């Protein structure tokens, strides 16, 4: 880990940010005391995604039947109107 004084960091900020971008960590010092650390925002290793096949096809979703809520409204607008009435 590299260490740099605040004044030098200010004067050469682009240089130190390039080092951080490459994976370096920088300790920022004030009168030889570490006051901050600059670390890469992303890990040095790229993030890996894993694609997992769906358990069911999208066509299976269209055949799903949902039971209505007992005693409740059957559409969104009615539900909003009822909720607003009850909150007053």
Mean pLDDT of 43-71: 74
The answer as to whether 31 is a domain residue is: yes
Residue predicted with more confidence, 4 or 59: 4
Question: Above 70 in pLDDT, residue 54?
Answer: yes
The answer as to whether 47 is a domain residue is: no
The whole-angstrom separation of Cα 15 and Cα 8 is 10
CB 43 within 8 A of CB 20: no
Residue 24 lies in domain = 2-38
The string of DSSP codes covering 13-49 is HHHHHHHHHTT--EEEEETTEEEEEE--SS-SSPP--
The whole-angstrom separation of Cα 25 and Cα 86 is 55
Question: Above 60 in pLDDT, residue 73?
Answer: no
pTM: 0.48
Q: What is the CATH number of the domain that holds 24?
A: 3.40.1620
Measured distance between the N- and C-terminal CA atoms of the chain, rounded to whole angstroms: 60
Question: Above 60 in pLDDT, residue 18?
Answer: yes
Structural domains counted in the chain? 1
């Amino acid at each position: 880990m590299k260490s740099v004084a605040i004044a030098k960091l200010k004067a050469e900020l682009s240089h130190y940010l390039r080092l951080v971008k490459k994976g370096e960590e920088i300790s920022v010092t004030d009168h030889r005391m570490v006051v901050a650390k600059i670390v890469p925002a992303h890990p040095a290793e790229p993030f890996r995604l894993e694609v997992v096949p769906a358990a069911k096809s999208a066509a299976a979703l269209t055949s799903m039947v949902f039971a209505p809520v007992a005693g409740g409204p059957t559409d969104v607008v009615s539900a909003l109107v009822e909720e607003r009435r009850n909150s007053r």
